[in-house]
Amino acid sequence: MASIIQVENVSKVYDGGFRALDDVNLSIEEGEILALLGPNGAGKTTLISIICGLVNLTSGSVSVGGHDTIRDYRAARSLIGLVPQEIALEPFQKVLDGLRFTRGLYGKPADPDFLENVLRRLSLWDKRDSMTSELSGGMKRRVLIAKALCHQPKVLFLDEPSAGVDVELRKDMWEVIRQLRAEGVTIILTTHYIEEAEAIADRVGIISKGKILLVEDKDTLVRRMGHREMRIELLEPLASLPDTLAKYSLAQSEDRCTLVYSYEANGERTGIMSLFNDLNAAGIKLRDVDTRQSSLEDIFVSLIEDKPEART
Amino acid sequence: MNLQAVWSIYRSEMRRFFRTITQSLISPVLSTSLYFIVFGAAIGSRIQEVEGISYGAFIVPGLIMLSVLTQSISNASFGIYFPKFIGSIYEVNAAPVSFIEIVLGYVGAAATKSMFIGLIILGTAFFFVDLTIQHPAAMVAFLTLTCISFSLFGFIIGLWSKNFEQLQLVPLLVITPLVFLGGSFYSISMLPEGWQTVALFNPVVYLISGFRWSFFGMADVNIAISLMMIALFLALCLGIIWWTFRTGFKIRS
Ligand SMILES: Nc1ncnc2c1ncn2[C@@H]1O[C@H](COP(=O)(O)OP(=O)(O)OP(=O)(O)O)[C@@H](O)[C@H]1O
Ligand SMILES: [Mg+2]
């Protein structure tokens, strides 16, 4: 696949002297869904804002569809639709008027049928004559998406699309995103949640403290991140592990009341069933079982400790 | 040139104006009527004539200018400040629009609004006084130029304002005194010698004087000088806007 967005050696130092992006390189393939994953303040919004032309870069260059975003900003920006992180809408503007406005900004002739289509797709058609101040938060977010789509962009940026959105709407949104991808739109979204990246992205980029730590196929990454721990609390302390359990390389807690089993959640076999069978056979009684996945923080830590390999 | 975008900004700004058309018109019409009653009737009964023109008619150009200047500034400054304040300016920033197109859209709309209000006030004036306009074309030209240049000025204020206080401050502290001391309600020749000289440093004097000339064919200062002063002011505003967008941009970080 050809790359549609090239970010080369981009750094951003804000007026206060804060370095929000540090020598970022990123190539986004045409037609993919890329999730940018990172904690608060990582620089996700800054990166998106630079590509979209909202923030001036300090050094480096960005091109969209082969057009430099500064020298050839008209061509570059025409390809982009942006759904910002913060809801920012004219309160007294009617939904449909707002869409007409946005479409006009992109120099596109009026196309009522297309706008109707966009609104229907986002279940907003009934609200077309409502003022945005009369809408719920979730509806406002959909209005932002509709605005981003109303000039038929080839690249769509969604900055934290699932912030403040309920499960139902999130699913609908993912559905819209998948449809768009099927139509050939390239999609870049930011998120704090691995689950979200896992659910819809083709590739995942991890960004922290203004640096891109890695960009990887989702499947590879999920496998790498799929590391889980199961904590098994026992009814009675277990002095020593029976030999039959040796193959599980269990860890024991100090008080001997807890066993910890590590496994890969995405592996062919997790070994959980046979572990339980063997525990049962050894006559070990369980009080409780609890599993936890490696958190984003764990992954960051492991990535930072593990840089050479991580920077693939 | 992305004319579609200019039109889009213009239309959406005008929509906002027409959404609140009653408020937009009631206040200037009401205040003008009050001026006519207070200045025209109360003072006019004592002054009667200024340079051969009835006082009621004499103050019409000044009253129109007063409203047009303040309306241009408040419309244009609010027009760009508001989307900046609520954040919806991101759309304009992310769109394939040049700063010239942004200025044309916002300033064009603000100028149209104040032109509209100026004409409404002129219409109102006909109810109160006998009025003939000697140079209608020049009148319209003067009005248009004033609307445009002061909308540009308002746009600059809106670009640079960091909060609502600043947005109010310039019109309040600078424009209102300049307008009141600019000969809206009197002829400069009615001032004492020394003050006449001081008045010549007030740019609004030239505007009102030129505008008054288009009504009555008489002016405090030469009409050519008046025109030059507006042109100068217009150029200055354009220069500042160009420089603002060149350097800080003010709508981008
Ligand atoms: N206009 C600004 N001026 C100064 N510093 C800024 C500005 N905008 C962002 N920053 C700083 O840059 C850093 C990155 O911010 P950014 O908004 O890009 O993070 P983010 O990854 O989007 O975070 P979040 O997940 O919270 O949205 C932060 O430390 C922030 O404080
Ligand atoms: Mg952000």
The minimal CB distance from A52 to the residues B4, B83, B94 is found for B94
Beta strands in chain B (DSSP E): 49-50, 53-54
> Which tops the pLDDT comparison, B92 or B249?
B92
The mean pLDDT value for A4-24 works out to 91
- The reply to whether A72 touches chain B by the CB within 8 Å rule is no
Chain B interface includes A100 (CB < 8 A)? yes
How much is the ipTM here? 0.85
- pLDDT for residue A82: 95
Distance of CA B5 to the CA centre of its chain: 25
Model confidence at A311, in pLDDT bands (50, 70, 90)? very low
List pLDDT tens digits, range A48-57. 999 998 988 8
Is pLDDT above 50 for A202? yes
> Mean pLDDT across chain B, nearest whole number?
85
Render the burial of A156-195: b for 16+ CB within 10 Å, e for the rest.
bbbbbbbeebeeebeebbbebbeebbeeebbbbbbbbebe
pLDDT digits (tens, 9 = 90+) for A241-278: 888 888 888 888 888 888 888 887 766 778 888 888 88
> What is the predicted pLDDT for the residue at A310?
37
Q: Does pLDDT of B120 surpass 70?
A: yes
Distance separating alpha carbons of residues A10 and A23, to the nearest angstrom:
5
User: Would you tell me how many other CB atoms lie within 10 Å of the CB of residue B127?
Assistant: 8
Cα B84 to chain centroid distance, Å, stands at 23
Q: What's residue B111's pLDDT?
A: 96
A210 close to ligand 1 (CB < 6 Angstrom)? no
**How many other CB atoms are there within 10 angstroms of residue B243's CB atom?**
10
Res. A30: pLDDT tops 60: yes
Instruction: Tell me the two tokens of residue B12.
Output: 């959406």
- Lowest average pLDDT, out of A158-167, B10-19, B45-54, goes to B45-54
pLDDT of residue A312: 36
Pairing of strands A227-234, A286-293: antiparallel
Instruction: Answer yes or no: do A89 and B95 touch at CB < 8 A.
Output: no
CA distances from B229 to A229, B142, B195, B220, B221 (A): 79, 12, 20, 14, 11
Give span(s): CATH 3.40.50.300, chain A.
Answer: 3-222
CB contacts, 8 Å: A109 with chain B: 4
Residue A118 has pLDDT above 90, yes or no: yes
CA B159 to chain centre: 18
**CATH 3.30.70 domain extents, chain A:** 228-293
Segment 7-26 of chain A within 8 Å of chain B by CB: 14-15
> pLDDT > 90: what percent of chain A?
44
Q: What's the helix, strand, coil split of chain B in %, to 5? A: 80, 0, 20
pLDDT value of residue A299: 64
CA distance B230 to B207: 7
Q: How far apart are CA B125 and CA A107, in angstroms?
A: 42
pLDDT at A190 over 90: yes
CATH number of A228-293: 3.30.70
Q: CA-to-CA distance for A176 and B141, rounded, in angstroms?
A: 53
Band (B251; pLDDT cuts 50, 70, 90): low
Atom of ligand 1 nearest to the CA of A207: 21
Contact predicate B244/B156, CB 8 Å = yes
Coil, strand or helix at A288: strand
Instruction: Report which of residues A298 and B95 the model is more confident about.
Output: B95
pLDDT digits (tens, 9 = 90+) for B169-180: 887 888 878 887
Provide CB contacts within 8 A for B203, sequence distance 6+: B178, B229, B233
Exposed/middle/buried for residue A75 (C-beta within 10 Å: 0-12, 13-18, 19+)? middle
Q: Look at A96-105, A248-257, A299-308, B91-100 and tell me which has the smallest mean pLDDT.
A: A299-308
- What is the model's pLDDT at position B81? 92
**How distant is the Cα of B235 from the closest Cα of chain A, in angstroms?**
27
Place of tokens 């691995």: A194
Q: Is A283 on the interface with B (CB under 8 A)?
A: no
pLDDT at B248: 56
Q: Nearest bound ligand to CA A296?
A: 1
The mean per-residue pLDDT over the stretch B140-165 comes to 90
Q: Where are the alpha helices (DSSP H) in chain A?
A: 44-52, 73-78, 95-105, 112-121, 137-149, 167-182, 194-200, 218-225, 272-281, 296-305, 307-310
For residue B88, give the chain A residue with the closest CA: A88
Mean pLDDT computed over every residue of chain A = 86
Say whether B87 and A88 touch across the interface (CB within 8 A).
yes
Fold of A3-222: Rossmann fold (3.40.50)
Stated length of chain B: 253
Q: Identify the band that residue A295 occupies on the pLDDT scale cut at 50, 70 and 90.
A: low
Give the mean model confidence (pLDDT) for residues A283-300: 76
- Does residue A85 have its Cβ closer than 6 Å to ligand 1? yes
pLDDT tens profile A155-164: 999 999 887 7
- pLDDT of A266 reads 67
Max CA separation in chain B (angstroms): 60
* C-alpha B233 to ligand 2 mean position (Å): 42
Q: Is the sign of the CA dihedral A90, A188, A161, B85 positive or negative?
A: negative
Q: pLDDT for B51-110, tens place per residue?
A: 777 877 888 888 898 889 888 998 999 999 999 999 999 999 999 998 889 999 999 999
Kindly give, in sequence order, each residue whose CB lies less than 8 Å from that of residue B239, ignoring residues fewer than 6 positions away.
none
Looking at the complex, report in whole angstroms how far the Cα of residue B57 sits from the nearest Cα belonging to chain A.
40
Taking residues A196-222, what's their average pLDDT?
84
Confidence label for A151 from pLDDT (cuts 50, 70 and 90): very high
